[in-house]
A and B are shown apart, each in its own frame.
Chain A
Amino acid sequence: MIDVNKIRADFPILNRKVNGKPLVYFDNGATTQKPKQVIDAIVNYYSEHNANIHRGVHTLSREATELFEEARKTVSKFIGAEAEEIVFTAGTTDSINIVAAGLDLPVGSEIIITEMEHHSNILPWQLWCEKNEGKLKVIPVEVDGTLDIGLLESLITPQTKVLAVTHVSNTLGVINPVDALIKIAKQYGLIVLVDGAQSIPHMKIDVRELGADFYVFSGHKVYAPTGTGVLWMNKQWVGKLKLSRSGGGTIKTVSFDKTDYVEGALRYEPGTPNIEGVLGLASALKYVNEIGIEKIAKHEHTLLKYATERLNEIPEVEIYANHLEKAAVISFNVKGAHPFDVGTLLDKYGIAVRTGHHCTQPLMARYKIPGTVRASFAMYNTLEEINIFIEALQKSIKMLS
């Protein structure tokens, strides 16, 4: 069991009132709130250590560099990787773009994604296909929100080179059977990218066990600052993934004829990085470690189960992917009401949920809906908050009917 009250005390924003009501923050799938430990890490960096890294010989620069490289180790340990395999990026979207632009694929290659991908795991590949006469192939989503994984094999042809799949659907919360998918993909020698934006906050990740080539995530969805992200690449890719952007801090020697890049993952981090953000990210992951990701997952599952039960009691509510193989996300609609209406009224009751297409328009098209209302939970949410949410939802439904 986790001590939710103690955790809540670490998140200053949870004391806020919204529209005169205590904030109930159920938009964690979009971004999580930050504990004071993370905020302090940023303040401490600027108050004590601010300097550019990897360059200076002076004390501050050395301290900042050490903190930054220490953060790389913290991140690598968090996902069972080696520090050399970690590239700091601006987020999931940035990471996917770096991979999509850096793979040396033959013209006309095919890339397999799923119907539930976030636009950030569609568009970089679509862009690649447009430039290289490639083709996007799509694993369809069943009505219950699961993937028809049997179809993967039938989609693979000799031209197929990549499988890019989300670990957890940001819209439905469904946990995809990535192990099974990767196993099949690897039998055919595909390169696999797993979008971990929605899995990293909710489950233990071990990239070695996962067996993908790339695992990417955003810091801000796991209690860290915005503008931070991670691109984990299996060792064999370090140096092999082509550079799609370049600049200072990535080289050994530069002349106008030829440039010698550093060997490690640093070559993918041109320019001054988001130092304060990375330190905040390390602090966030330490915070998660102290509480324990398994315990967090268990707590969130309790919340999911209770919210599902309560929502199922309301006749007007229709839940998408209405089962419990999900990660702290519950997406629904109220019959006869637009998600926008529901979200607007819930906001008046102090409840933050997300409404709309959640950057998954193809998935919305599959369900033939304009969007959903999505409640997504984090370690600091409580059963009591779910009660407040359900009561507000019932009032909203009454107003809208």
Chain B
Amino acid sequence: MSIQEIEKEIIEEFELFGDDWEGKYEHIIDLGKSLPKIKEEYKTDDRIIKGCQSKVWLHSELRKGKIVFTADSDAIITKGMVALMIRVLSNQKPEDVVNANLEFIVKIGLKEHLSPTRANGLVSMIKQMKLDALAFLNS
């Protein structure tokens, strides 16, 4: 599926919650819990995305022309956001990752996590994912 198709799928999934923010956050927490574990050897300090209250470890590699992300966080809500980002951006072509505008975050009502004061590092994580993709593109 393309990035846009996955985004559409997630938007539809979240529409079911309507105004029920508790349901929405419970879903994010569940997504966090079911995020496949990152290999322990990748949970090194140099893979920590800086500037977050919660830690995020991100690892990326290129497999058959597609970028594969694995990640983890010590906070469960952050981990749920990480899971959403991975679902959208992992297994995509690096150039598509670089160009993704990720409108779904606003559409599913999680805009607050994009604010610069948010300490969960979603913004830094997206930036790092795109930087990694760019690096693969140029290599």
Report which of A344, A348, A370 forms a contact with B120, defined as CB distance below 8 A: A344
Whether the pair A400, B119 counts as a contact (CB closer than 8 A) is no
Chain A: CB-nearest residue to B19:
A20
12 contacts between A and B (CB under 8 A): A338-B54, A340-B53, A340-B120, A341-B77, A345-B25, A348-B22, A355-B53, A355-B119, A356-B53, A370-B54, A399-B25, A400-B29
Chain A: CB-nearest residue to B78:
A340
Report which of B25, B74, B119 forms a contact with A348, defined as CB distance below 8 A: B25
B130 contacts the other chain (Cβ, under 8 Å)? no
Contacts of A348 in B (CB 8 A): 21-22, 25
B55 contacts the other chain (Cβ, under 8 Å)? yes
B103 contacts the other chain (Cβ, under 8 Å)? no
Chain B 36-71 against A: per-residue CB contact (8 Å), 1 yes, 0 no?
000000000000000001110000000000000000
A127 contacts the other chain (Cβ, under 8 Å)? no
Chain A: CB-nearest residue to B55:
A370
Contacts of A355 in B (CB 8 A): 53, 119
Contacts of B119 in A (CB 8 A): 340, 355-356
B76 contacts the other chain (Cβ, under 8 Å)? yes
Report which of A19, A338, A395, A399 forms a contact with B75, defined as CB distance below 8 A: A338
Whether the pair A399, B53 counts as a contact (CB closer than 8 A) is no
Interface of A is mostly: helix
A91 contacts the other chain (Cβ, under 8 Å)? no
Contacts of A19 in B (CB 8 A): 21
A43 contacts the other chain (Cβ, under 8 Å)? no
Contacts of B120 in A (CB 8 A): 340, 344
Residues in chain A within 8 A of chain B (CB atoms) = 19, 337-341, 344-345, 348, 355-356, 370-371, 395, 399-400
Chain A's nearest CB lies how many Å from the CB of B26? 6
Chain B: CB-nearest residue to A336:
B76
Whether the pair A370, B26 counts as a contact (CB closer than 8 A) is no
Whether the pair B54, A340 counts as a contact (CB closer than 8 A) is yes
Interface size class of B (residues with CB under 8 A): 10 to 19
Further contacts, 18 of them, CB under 8 A, given A340-B119, A348-B22, A355-B119: A19-B21, A340-B54, A340-B75, A340-B77, A340-B78, A341-B54, A341-B75, A341-B77, A341-B78, A344-B77, A356-B53, A356-B119, A370-B53, A370-B74, A371-B53, A399-B25, A399-B29, A400-B29
Chain B's nearest CB lies how many Å from the CB of A398? 10
Cα A331 to Cα B109 in complex, Å, equals 30
Chain B 63-99 against A: per-residue CB contact (8 Å), 1 yes, 0 no?
0000000000011111000000000000000000000
Cα A104 to Cα B55 in complex, Å, equals 42
A355-B53, A356-B119 are contacts. A338–B25 as well, Cβ < 8 Å?
A: no
Whether the pair B76, A400 counts as a contact (CB closer than 8 A) is yes
Cα A137 to Cα B130 in complex, Å, equals 44
Whether the pair A338, B74 counts as a contact (CB closer than 8 A) is yes
Whether the pair A399, B22 counts as a contact (CB closer than 8 A) is yes
Cα A370 to Cα B78 in complex, Å, equals 15
Cα A190 to Cα B108 in complex, Å, equals 59
Contacts of B78 in A (CB 8 A): 338, 340-341
Cα A399 to Cα B76 in complex, Å, equals 11
Contacts of A400 in B (CB 8 A): 29, 76
Contacts of A395 in B (CB 8 A): 22
Contacts of B77 in A (CB 8 A): 340-341, 344-345
Chain A's nearest CB lies how many Å from the CB of B34? 15
Cα A32 to Cα B41 in complex, Å, equals 45
Chain B 1-25 against A: per-residue CB contact (8 Å), 1 yes, 0 no?
0000000000000000000011001
Nearest first, the 8 A-B pairs at minimum CB distance are A338-B75, A340-B75, A340-B54, A340-B53, A356-B53, A341-B77, A341-B75, A344-B77
Residue from A355, A371, A400 whose CB has the most chain B CB atoms within 10 Å: A400
Cα A395 to Cα B26 in complex, Å, equals 11
Contacts of B26 in A (CB 8 A): 399
Contacts of B54 in A (CB 8 A): 338, 340-341, 370
Chain B's nearest CB lies how many Å from the CB of A44? 31
Contacts of B74 in A (CB 8 A): 338, 370
Contacts of A371 in B (CB 8 A): 53
Cα A338 to Cα B119 in complex, Å, equals 12
Cα A399 to Cα B20 in complex, Å, equals 13
Chain A's nearest CB lies how many Å from the CB of B74? 6
Chain A's nearest CB lies how many Å from the CB of B27? 11
Cα A208 to Cα B119 in complex, Å, equals 42
Contacts of B25 in A (CB 8 A): 345, 348, 399
Cα A248 to Cα B133 in complex, Å, equals 53
Chain A's nearest CB lies how many Å from the CB of B102? 20
Residue from A19, A340, A348 whose CB has the most chain B CB atoms within 10 Å: A340
Cα A176 to Cα B82 in complex, Å, equals 42
